[in-house]
Structure 1
């Protein structure tokens, strides 16, 4: 048995009008295959090129270890020179990923290699983020704290993406007071005996290759798995939906602060309680 996933619609290219009408307004994902060929980045950006221009920079690395109460939000698990990291990616599978790294602060000239797509989104060029990973490394299923609209541009290699909208949250074993689900769920090959509520999910799947753009609407859950070594860049557009603005403010001002406070106060017991509650609440909501 597999997850109930439909392929994300794919278009070769798209106009601003059609993007707004067919995907942004209804908040549906789409992959745009041929849209950035005029970017210098399209022809230049590769793992080798990033090693050349940023090889001496120290980068934050993350793996798939469970959340530890001692760690701050998005605290890296290790650090390494970019040149060493890319050599590692190319030599063997590794779980180490670069997550939410603004390389453009370190190498400003890279800002000249791309431009903001004219798709009707007010994209923030000041906060582009890069994501790198090796074969079979993956992110936990999560959604972004600010409920932004995301354009995810992929460079080199192949990446599998699984998405769910917020309506699927009751089936995903969401961790209370958090933006992630149970970290021991393998969304590429889930164990339905252990996680029976996943049978009820309805989501999306796609594979990204060099030059593809994935549009992820506001608050979409996403799981990314690198099928081969590669990297991506994300640009974001702040939500204008009043409900999602409220949810984003709640996440920043209350949820994250409360979670950090409880970690300091209760330590690992807080993490263990949240993990237990994820199962208990999900099964109660679904009569399991």
Structure 2
């Protein structure tokens, strides 16, 4: 793992395995992240799931792809940038670095055979029983810093290769240049090589870092910010549990019902001026909160 000399990032604790009692008491209740290395060793997915297997079962499926271009007023919330067949996409991943990613894709619905390969771990939290979503990326592909719209407790399982995860608790939001009426930080922040002259508040943010290997699980508590970098081509799956905190549940409802629709409306009405305004406000508001003069 590369050493991070600038951002204040502590390693996420890594355990071989854990009981549901210890998981609830030591991580869910205090809302602390953890990596569990052998939680799903008994899943068929742990033995079977790699890019070749996905290509064999789902090669004909047309999948939505995203890259790292900045959000514009022409795009709706989570609108893909292009589409191609899964087999073509996996060939692209294996050919070398690419920015194209698959985000929140319901592959298990499209390919029911994959549903036999996993189960919901008995960890003492109530996972939503809807089919989980998958995420794919090529070498060096990055997912911008964000938190999830539903404030879920997330178990994030990685397959095929390595993935770097940088995460921050909600308490650090004031340092992360959060874009108003959105779930993201400024997209021009490179969390692997941050520009502290342009974004000085980042120096104060205290977060965590880890690398996920094949079959490992990362627990991210509700409302945690996360930024992912695929160190090799690979894919991940997330299981979700509803927020335990009533305040976070209320925020999730607001995000889903009000914020998302308001932002889409303003994009249509104001166009790029709305995007530019939000990015400008992210900087001004962060610097004001932290008494930073630039």
Report the TM-score, using the length of structure 2 for normalisation: 0.97
Q: Provide the residue aligned with 1:58 in structure 2.
A: 62
Which secondary structure does the structure 1 equivalent of 2:142 belong to?
Answer: coil
| Aligned-residue offset at 1:127 | 3.0
| Aligned-residue offset at 1:125 | 3.1
Among candidates 122, 127, 134, match of residue 126 of structure 2:
122
5 Å matches for 1:67-146?
67-146=71-150
| Aligned-residue offset at 1:240 | 2.6
Q: Provide the residue aligned with 2:264 in structure 1.
A: 260
Residue 185 (structure 1) aligned with residue 180 (structure 2)? no
Q: Provide the residue aligned with 2:14 in structure 1.
A: 10
* Stretch deviating more after TM superposition (249-258 or 183-192): 249-258
**Unaligned residue ranges in structure 1 (runs of 5+):** none
- C-alpha separation in 1, matches of 2:280 and 2:94: 38
Among candidates 26, 33, 36, match of residue 30 of structure 2:
26
| Aligned-residue offset at 1:234 | 0.4
Report the TM-score, using the length of structure 1 for normalisation: 0.99
Q: Which runs of 4+ in 1 moved over 4 A?
A: none
- CA offsets, 1:77-102, max 9 Å, x none? 01010000001100111000000001
**Unaligned residue ranges in structure 2 (runs of 5+):** none
Q: Provide the residue aligned with 1:232 in structure 2.
A: 236
- C-alpha separation in 2, matches of 1:243 and 1:174: 19
* Total equivalences in the alignment: 288
Whether contact under 8 Å (2:109, 2:131) holds in the other structure is no
Which secondary structure does the structure 2 equivalent of 1:184 belong to?
Answer: coil
Which secondary structure does the structure 2 equivalent of 1:283 belong to?
Answer: helix
- C-alpha separation in 1, matches of 2:202 and 2:42: 41
Which secondary structure does the structure 2 equivalent of 1:43 belong to?
Answer: helix
5 Å matches for 1:128-277?
128-277=132-281
| Aligned-residue offset at 1:109 | 1.1
- C-alpha separation in 1, matches of 2:6 and 2:125: 34
| Aligned-residue offset at 1:130 | 0.4
